[in-house]
Amino acid sequence: MPTAFPDSIDATLALLAAHDYVAERSLATALFLALRMQRPLFLEGEAGVGKTEVAKVMARALDRKLVRLQCYEGLDIASAVYEWNYPRQMLEIRLAEAANLIKDNKETNTFPRQTPGHVRRAHGDELRQGIFSEKFLIERPLLQALRGGEAPPVLLIDELDRTDEPFEAYLLEVLSDWQVSIPEIGTIKAQEPPVVVITSNRTREIHDAVKRRCLYHWVNYPDAARELAILARKAPEAPHRLSQEVVVFVNKLRGMDLFKLPGVAETIDWAKALTALNALALDPDTVNDTLGVLLKYQDDIAKIQGSAAAAILRQVKIELAA
C-alpha cells in the first residue's frame, strides 16, 4: 500500500523535509492542494531551483513509482504514449503465414494460392486482431502513468517548454480526462489519476489552457536561511562557517547582471567542492579557482574573477561578522 497523502500543509512540509527537501510554505501549500484536488502541479522557475526534485521526492515520500516523461522538441505520441512493437508484429505475421501455408496444404492438398477467398479473409481478420493486441503494445510514460492501477504513480512531465504546441494540445486532453485513445484497442482510462508534476524553465510560455488545468507555483531561489538548511542536508560535510559564506556569496551573485545565475544545484556543488579542497572559509584565491563550479559561462566567470570576487567576498565577511 502506498503512503496516504498528507492531511495538512504542515504535514506536507514535514513529509518533504523527511526526504531532505526544504520547501517554502507556499510550495507545500500548492502541493498539498494539488494532491487533495487531484490536479497537476505546474512548477516554473529558474534552472536548478529544485523543480524536478519535487516529483522525485514525492514519489519516494508517497512510496509510489516515478514515471518520467522528459520533454524535447519533436516529442511525439510514439515516444510519450504508446507504440506498436513493429518487429514483433512482423515476426508474428511471418509465423502466421508459415502456419497457414502448412495448414492449407494439409486441408486442400493443393497450393495455397488456391485457398478459397473467404478462408484467406478470415485468417487475415484474426491476424489483424492478434497483432494489434496488448501483447504487441509498448507502453510509454503517459500510458504507464494512466495504467498505474490502485497505486497511481507520480508522473513527472519534465521541461514541458521544450516540446511543441501540438504535443501540448494532446497533453491537455490527457490531463482533462485522464484517458488516452488507441484506435486499434479503444479508450484507456485511469482508475485513479496519477500524481502529476509538470516543470518548465520558461524558455517559452506554456498555453493558458494547460495551466488552467493545473495548480501553478513559481519556484524562487531560496532565501539565505532556507539555502543554509538545504546545505545542511545536501552537503552536511561542509563546515558551518563555510556553508554560511557560500550561501551569502551565491546570494550576492544572484543580484548581479550575469548571463546565467547559479541555482541551488550550484550552491550544493560549490560547498562540496570547497570541502573537498579542505577549505574552512572562503578566501580570494580559492574563490577564483573554483568559480567554474558556480558559473558555467566564460563571460560570467571573466566578469566575476579577480576584483569583483574580492569585493563580494569582503561584503560577505562584513555581513557575517555583524
Ligand X SMILES: Nc1ncnc2c1ncn2[C@@H]1O[C@H](COP(=O)(O)OP(=O)(O)OP(=O)(O)O)[C@@H](O)[C@H]1O
Q: Give the residues lining the site for ligand X (CB under 6 A).
A: 20-23, 45, 47-53, 199, 201, 230, 234, 264-265, 268
Q: Return the one option of Mg ion, ligand X, none that residue 217 interacts with (CB less than 5 to 8 A, by type).
A: none
Minimum CB–partner distance for residue 162 and ligand X (Å): 11
Taking the least distance from each CB to Mg ion, the nearer of 52 and 163 is 52
Minimum CB–partner distance for residue 145 and ligand X (Å): 19
Who contacts 114 (Cβ-Cβ below 8 Å, separation ≥6)?
108
What is d(CA 101, CA 107) in angstroms, rounded to the nearest whole number?
10
Minimum CB–partner distance for residue 316 and ligand X (Å): 21
Q: Return the one option of ligand X, Mg ion, none that residue 264 interacts with (CB less than 5 to 8 A, by type).
A: ligand X
Place of cell 498528507: 6
Q: Return the one option of ligand X, Mg ion, none that residue 175 interacts with (CB less than 5 to 8 A, by type).
A: none
What is d(CA 143, CA 220) in angstroms, rounded to the nearest whole number?
32
Taking the least distance from each CB to ligand X, the nearer of 22 and 31 is 22
Who contacts 220 (Cβ-Cβ below 8 Å, separation ≥6)?
24, 45, 49
Minimum CB–partner distance for residue 233 and Mg ion (Å): 18
Taking the least distance from each CB to ligand X, the nearer of 145 and 230 is 230
Which residues are near Mg ion by CB under 5 A?
52
User: Smallest Cα–Cα separation from 19: which of 1, 31, 34?
Assistant: 31
Apex CA 80: angle with CA 76 and CA 84, to 5°?
A: 85
Q: What are phi and psi of 196, to 5 degrees?
A: -110, 130
Minimum CB–partner distance for residue 123 and Mg ion (Å): 51
Taking the least distance from each CB to ligand X, the nearer of 196 and 230 is 230
What is d(CA 43, CA 104) in angstroms, rounded to the nearest whole number?
61
